[in-house]
Structures are given as C-alpha cells and as structure tokens.
Structure 1
C-alpha cells in the first residue's frame, strides 16, 4: 500500500509519518512546505486551489490530509473566513479532486470538533452524527471542506473518512495547552481549584492510532468519527494531572467558576473563560463499535509522555 501524508512537519503529521515509517507495512511519502532533508519527503509550495499534486499522487492508494491553516486564537486578518477557506476548503478540495482523478482509493481528512460546536451541556457529549453547528471561521471552513469531500466522493467513488479531534496534546503542542503547562511549571497559585466541568481531549498517540486504523479498515469508508481519550476531565483534574506528569506540585485556589466567569467578562476575556470553564465532551462510541478501536493511552499516560523525552507539551 502506498500512502501520502500531507502536513508532514506539523504537530500531527510528523508523528503520523514517523509511526507509519516505523511500522514498515507500507510505502509512505510525506508532503509539506518545509520538509526535512530525508528520503520520502517532498516539498509542496502551499495548499492552494492551484497547487499541482498529480506527480506526488501517482500510484498512491490512500491520502491522509493533516495539512491546514490552523485555528488562530487572535486572528488579525480583516476577513478570517476567507483566509481559512483558501487553504482549508479550496486547497483541500483541489487535492481531493486530483487524488480522485489519479485513482486514489481513500482520502482521510483530519477535521475538527469545532465542526460540531464549541460547548456541550455537561453529560451530553457531541456525537459523530450530530447536526454540525460551527461557531467560528475555522470551524466553518472545516465543515465546508467536509461537505466538498463528501460530494467528490459520491461523484467519483473515492472513499472519504472524516476524523474530528478535540484539543490534541503531546510533545511540542502549542497554544493554550502549552501556556497552562508553563503556569504549572512555575508553581504559581491559580484560581482553578473548584472547576467541575468536563472536557474531552485526545493524546497525540491516540489520534495517530485512530488515523492509522482508518487507513484500510473496511468499515471506516465514508464515515465521520470523533476522536478522544475516552476519559473526560475537569480543568481542575487536568491541572493536577499535568503537575503529576511534571513531578511538581499544583497550587490551585478553589474559586467558584461563576466568580471567574464574571471577572473574565469584566476583562473582555469571556470567550477564553468559556473554553477554560465550560464543558466540551465527545462520544467516541462510533469508532469503538464500527472499528473495534480503543484509545491505547489513558489521559495520565498521555500527559506523562509529554515529558518523557524532555520535551514539553
């Protein structure tokens, strides 16, 4: 089997590429804008509507598309949706059309839980079959890409697999997760000792394992799956877990969530506080039932692996 992995220098793509190479069960080619100087990696000058992929796609059986314009917390573009669409929609569908034209059998697309929405009531997780309800430009662009891929698949017969992960954590992760870890490392007191929300996360190793399962599993064809560790945690539990993984004490002050939300609103940080204090749960039972897949790592082990090699999450 011949595989093409896009975004091969990215957070998910690099780990996926390394795992596939180590398995030696197939021939893997990686594509990215700044690839490493090694065999089986090719430079692609951007993910655009006019990018030429045919030479790279020749003889490929499956494409695993991890490349994207990533979610940006403080997007300074005047029209963020337009910028996301250029890469996440136009660039993705251009790749998929060329893949179908040269006979690629399956296209695995790494989407986002933001397609489902931003929050769930506690105890009522998102499912793969919920009506999508994205709330920001990034989520909208991912949903539009999914819709376009389903259309290409129905017209050409190329199998399409969609995977929507929530927050992915592991060595090298950036953004809010990395900022949280730095606070724990500094040992500073934080007012998050009484947060009783529930958040679904997915360890990088767990996400990669699900992607690899979807490469050739017959039941994955033309399905949407939610990724997750299968173990939801509160923000308070997560911070304590990071401290245990680091081997450092976590100093949390038990302030009520309502008080924190009120203070965040006064500071213009309500959206950030909602992500930190609210719930977002995902139901991974579809992947379990259809694919027989189980997340190999617990949250505790996933956090521990963040620091085993000296890297930071």
Structure 2
C-alpha cells in the first residue's frame, strides 16, 4: 500500500511498482485531480482515520502522505497542524497496520530531522543526533520516534528514509522555478557560490524505497539518500543549463552580498537554501543495502526536462 499516491514521489513510485509486477493499493486524497488513479480515497489522515478495509491483504505500507513543508508558514500554531497529520496520522495508520498483520512499514521522512545546514566537510550521517529546527522537521522526528517504539512493541518492521530535496520530471516548487529561470536565459547573480548541497533524483529515491520493501538489512533502520554527488548552487545551475540545452548565464556576485541583500528583504530561508550547505553521507545506505544510486546527477537533471511526469 502506498499513501500519498498522487504526489510527486507517489506517482513515480506507483508507476514503477506496477511496471515491475507488484500489486499496489494506491491511497490518496479524494479531492486530488488525479484521484481517478487511486484504489482508495481518504479526505484526511489523522488520529481518527479508519484504515481497516484498506489494509486487508497488505504486506508492506509505504507512507508518503504528509503535511508538507511550507517556506513561509502563516498558521499561528504550525506545529499543531503538522503533528495532526505527520505524527498522529502516521502513528494511527501504523498501529492499524500492525494489527492487520503488515510486516513492514516504510516511512519517508525528511533530512530536516537532522537539521537545516551542515558545516563544510561535515555531512549528516544516518545515526547523528537529530536536531530538527522547524515545525515540519520536529513533526517528522516525533513520528519516527513513535514508529520505532511501535516496532519494539508489535514486531512490525519499520524503515525510515530521510531524503533531501527531490527532483525529477514534474517537480514543482523552487526547483521548478529554477528550471524556468535557467531556460529563460535571464542572467542570474549566482555564479560565485561555493556551498555544497546533496540532492536526490526521484529515480534514485524510488530505487531505495523499492529496495527497502524486502531487504532483510533494512529492518528497523534509518537511511539517508542522495545522488552520491554534492553540488554548489552555481554548479547546479550550470548543469541544469547543460541538461536543458541552453547557455549558462551566471554573474559572479559575492555570496556575502547576496546573503545581505536577501536577509534585508526578509528572505532568510531562501538565502539559507541558495548559499548554505546541506550534505548527507549515504555510506550506511551503501554498506547495508549494497550498490548505490543508479542514476547520475547529470542524467537525473536531463530527465527533468523530459516530457513525462
């Protein structure tokens, strides 16, 4: 069973699973325009959601559905809103899954559980002490803690995956805006940024999720995921331009000037993402599960501009 089946990752995952012979129960929101592809529809995921009929004959749950991170959160109590779906909703589903005999529960969390930034050469590792800073990251961490406690209590295996920014065909948000800017040919003042950020192509994330469905070493583990190659913002833009078949037009404005200007405009979070570093170490993932990301950064970026997705 896959929750969040009409989301960016959910659609790609369900397509892959069905193409490779898995029987998939796809669950998503009833008000989603893609709802016709679903086997089951739910209006909300919280502590009251009844999963009893949906979980019949399900061996593995892959839980993607979540209240997603919002850059400029406007709610007076964002943590309460995140907890309702990401903590209470997740643990309610997991308890019912364990009661229904589900053997493994795969939870797609977030690298924000580890924190917001890394120092140069000091990437996050899977077994670091989590230091979530915002409401979304805190809610994901609380869900992880509850799931691990439930695994000990019930014997249902839990796998936790913490991705950084996910990109690929059909991506939305800031990454899609960046793609449009690159294709437009507008000169960008981002040619002198020397940070390092980990990203993950959607194909690489799907590959890891599928591996965790039945790999014995995945049980009750936390995994970080990335493409295995970190990029500066400047390098990412250059390689996006190459993937799009256009010229890269970057102006080398000093990073501290950009940071000062963005902070003065109240865009601290944007400055953090454009200029700060966030690296992840996937050595545990490689060692326990074998292999590595099957899709290179350049191939993943090229697929962003394909017609699918």
Alpha-carbon deviations, 1:66-116, whole Å to 9, x = none? 110111111211111111001000100000000001110000000000000
In structure 1, C-alpha distance between the alignment counterparts of 2:171 and 2:221, rounded to whole Å = 28
* Contact map agreement 2:35 2:41 (CA 8 A) in 1: no
Q: Report the alpha carbon displacement of residue 183 of structure 1 after superposing the two structures with TM.
A: 1.1
CA–CA distance in structure 1, aligned partners of residues 165 and 291 of structure 2: 19
- TM-score, normalising length from structure 1? 0.96
| C-alpha separation in 1, matches of 2:15 and 2:250 | 37
Tell me how far apart the structure 2 counterparts of residues 298 and 147 of structure 1 sit (CA, whole Å).
33
Q: Which consecutive unaligned segments of at least 5 residues does structure 1 have?
A: none
1:233 corresponds in structure 2 to 231
Q: Select which of 178, 183, 186 maps to 1:185.
A: 183
For residues 253-281 of structure 1, give each alpha carbon's deviation from its aligned partner in whole angstroms, at most 9, with x where no partner exists: 00111111111122121221011101000
Q: Residue 80 of structure 1 aligns with which residue?
A: 78
Q: Paired residue for 2:6, among 3, 6, 9?
A: 9
Residue 24 of structure 2, aligned match among 21, 25, 28: 28
Q: Does the CA contact (< 8 Å) of 1:213 and 1:293 recur in 2?
A: no
Give the corresponding residue for 1:159.
157
| Structure 1 partner of 2:36 | 37
Aligned to 2:199: 201
Match of 1:104 among 102, 105, 108: 102
Q: Distance in 2 between matches of 1:74 and 1:270?
A: 11
CA-CA distance at 1:285 after TM superposition: 0.6
TM-score (norm. length: structure 2): 0.97
2:41 and 2:263 map into 1 onto residues whose CA distance is: 45
User: Unmatched 5+ residue regions in structure 2?
Assistant: none
Deviation per CA, 1:226-251: give whole Å up to 9, x if none.
01000000000000111111111121
Q: Secondary structure at the match of 2:76?
A: coil
Count of paired positions: 306
Once residues 278 and 305 of structure 2 are traced to their aligned partners in structure 1, the CA distance between those partners, rounded to angstroms, is 25
In angstroms, what is the RMSD of aligned CA positions?
A: 1.1
